[in-house]
């Protein structure tokens, strides 16, 4: 029996801002933007309580759209509300971009500062994340065997989820390719996060970036649910890629839960991530544990065929995902970059960079290209190269501009985000101590538990203020 989907995305944004008189200008601006959003724009309510040792009161808060803004290790981070449909997750993901860009504009800083939706800092080599969250039932096989069926899919999905980057991050000595050769120096690779993943499973995000984070923090009824928390993905600009990333991953989780997922254990998944990302031929060949060679496309097709056989026809999102998955793999097999522009980020970026290099007669090592790489991820529509593609109608949309505008201030209507947003709106003008979490609400001595994410809690929230 198919379980309903529920998912969310957390995005950490980079910031380009420099003041020669203030070495901490960027860090100060992050706090100013937060204060502008919550105190001037009043897009939500700041926390009044400690959420963790590194999240003091006022560090962030929940929004009128049911999502959340907060500061995490110097970065602005935005978490979407809980979504049940692909069109929703795309719209609410982009809503965070809109809120941040509008803040810079209202503060008069849009020409001096830029928020960058990417995952690497070329100056320091640091990385920042785009985390995905998928709710599964508590009886999901959260075991070495069950999660082992997920790893090959995650390692190889970067061929359509990667956003691309120039060059490569330092790879520690001893990390060699599966052909027993050192990793080559390459001008361009398809994933930004692949170089920064160091293990397959790990519990704590702060200490080791893993393919699958194994902490048990469901943010829902722990007797019924578990949350799959993924760290390895890139921050996508293309709506098609975002929908395909979330849609395919959700279907693979369904396949694992129902016992239909392929069994294709990869030899050293962490190295395979890097081999695939760095392969300039885009043949993407790796090895299975038994030593046999296999390509990323072969692995993806195995999962696709299982989804077609066991999941097709269940709903509109499932059928769109299967169709888009197959079409994308076909174009990747043909190395048809032109057909992938506007759908897949790394291909769109590569197409732009190659066109610019040809026009300006540049080589891959020209520093100009790093600036263009960053500008692809600039969320300012006046500057971002992604928006040039959108203006040229090369982008395949999965939502609308109107839907994104609505997602900035209105929550999804079929999850507990609806009740949370109602409570926030009611409290906007009430000078009363409150505590708001993903799973609960507290006002004085009265509380409301919201541990079922598929329930809106609107009735309970309204009654809360009527009593």
Residue 208: pLDDT band by 50, 70, 90 thresholds? low
Q: For 105-119, 193-207, 352-366, which range has the lowest pLDDT when averaged over its residues? A: 193-207
Cβ(61)–Cβ(70) below 8 Å: yes
Angle at 105 between CA 103 and CA 106, to 5 degrees: 65
**What per-residue confidence (pLDDT) applies to 103?**
98
194: exposed, middle or buried (Cβ count in 10 Å: 0-12, 13-18, 19+): buried
Instruction: Indicate whether 172 pLDDT > 60.
Output: no
Residue % of the chain over a pLDDT of 90: 80
Furthest CA-CA distance within the chain:
71
**What per-residue confidence (pLDDT) applies to 180?**
41
Residue 213 vs residue 263, higher pLDDT: 263
Residue 216: pLDDT band by 50, 70, 90 thresholds? confident
Instruction: Indicate whether 226 pLDDT > 50.
Output: yes
**What per-residue confidence (pLDDT) applies to 410?**
98
Helices 368-376 and 345-360: angle between axes, nearest 10 degrees = 150
Token pair for 140: 């999901």
Q: Could you give the C-alpha distances from 296 to 264, 271, 276, 321, in angstroms and in order?
A: 11, 13, 8, 18
Angle at 12 between CA 194 and CA 82, to 5 degrees: 100
The 10s digit of each residue's pLDDT in 400-421 is 999 999 999 999 999 999 999 9
CA pair distance 388, 373, nearest whole angstrom: 14
Average pLDDT over residues 386-407: 97
**What number of CA atoms fall less than 13 Å from residue 452's CA on the CB side?**
8
Residue 2: pLDDT band by 50, 70, 90 thresholds? low
The overall average pLDDT reported for the chain is 92
Residue 118 vs residue 185, higher pLDDT: 118
Residue 53: pLDDT band by 50, 70, 90 thresholds? confident
**Alpha-carbon torsion 96, 99, 101, 104, what sign?**
negative
Helices 417-427 and 458-466: angle between axes, nearest 10 degrees = 30
Q: Which residues are catalytic, by number?
A: 72
Instruction: Indicate whether 183 pLDDT > 50.
Output: yes
């Amino acid at each position: 029996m198919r379980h309903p989907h529920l998912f969310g995305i957390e995005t950490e944004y980079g910031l380009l801002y420099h003041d020669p008189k203030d070495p901490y200008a960027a860090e100060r601006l992050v706090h100013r933007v937060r204060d502008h959003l919550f105190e001037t724009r009043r897009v939500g309510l700041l926390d009044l309580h400690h959420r963790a040792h590194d999240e003091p009161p006022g560090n962030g808060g929940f929004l009128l759209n049911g999502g959340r803004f907060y500061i995490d290790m110097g970065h602005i981070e935005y978490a979407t509300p809980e979504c049940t449909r692909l069109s929703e997750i795309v719209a609410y993901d982009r809503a965070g971009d809109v809120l941040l860009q509008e803040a810079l504009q209202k503060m008069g800083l849009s020409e001096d500062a830029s928020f960058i939706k990417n995952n690497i800092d070329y100056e320091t080599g640091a990385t920042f994340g785009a985390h995905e969250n998928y709710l599964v039932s508590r009886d999901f096989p959260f075991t070495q065997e069950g999660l082992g069926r997920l790893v090959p899919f995650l390692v190889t999905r970067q061929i359509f989820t990667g956003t691309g980057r120039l060059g490569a991050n330092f790879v520690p000595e001893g990390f060699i390719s599966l052909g027993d050769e050192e990793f080559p120096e390459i001008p361009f690779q398809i994933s930004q996060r692949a170089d920064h993943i160091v293990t397959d499973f790990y519990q704590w995000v702060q200490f080791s970036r893993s393919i699958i984070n194994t902490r048990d923090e469901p943010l829902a009824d722990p007797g019924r649910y578990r949350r799959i928390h993924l760290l390895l993905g890139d921050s996508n600009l293309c709506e098609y890629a975002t929908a395909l990333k979330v849609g395919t991953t959700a279907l693979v989780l369904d396949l694992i839960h129902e016992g239909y997922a392929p069994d294709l254990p990869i030899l050293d998944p962490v190295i395979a991530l890097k081999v695939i990302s760095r392969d300039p031929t885009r043949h993407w060949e790796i090895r299975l544990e038994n030593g046999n060679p296999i390509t990323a496309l072969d692995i993806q097709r195995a999962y696709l065929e299982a989804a077609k056989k066991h999941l097709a026809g269940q709903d509109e999102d499932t059928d769109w995902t299967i169709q888009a998955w197959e079409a994308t793999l076909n174009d990747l097999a043909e190395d048809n970059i032109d057909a992938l522009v506007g759908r897949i980020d790394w291909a769109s970026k590569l197409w732009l960079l190659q066109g610019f290099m040809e026009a300006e007669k540049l080589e891959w090592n020209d520093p100009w290209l790093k600036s263009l790489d960053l500008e692809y991820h600039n969320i300012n529509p006046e500057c971002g190269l992604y928006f040039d593609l959108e203006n040229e109608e090369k982008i395949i949309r999965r939502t609308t501009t109107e839907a994104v505008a609505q997602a900035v201030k209105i929550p999804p209507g079929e999850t507990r985000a609806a009740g949370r947003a109602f409570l926030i709106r009611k409290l906007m003008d009430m000078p009363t101590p409150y505590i708001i979490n993903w799973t609960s609400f507290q006002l004085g001595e009265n509380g409301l538990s919201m541990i079922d994410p598929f329930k809106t809690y609107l009735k309970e929230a309204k009654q809360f203020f009527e009593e």
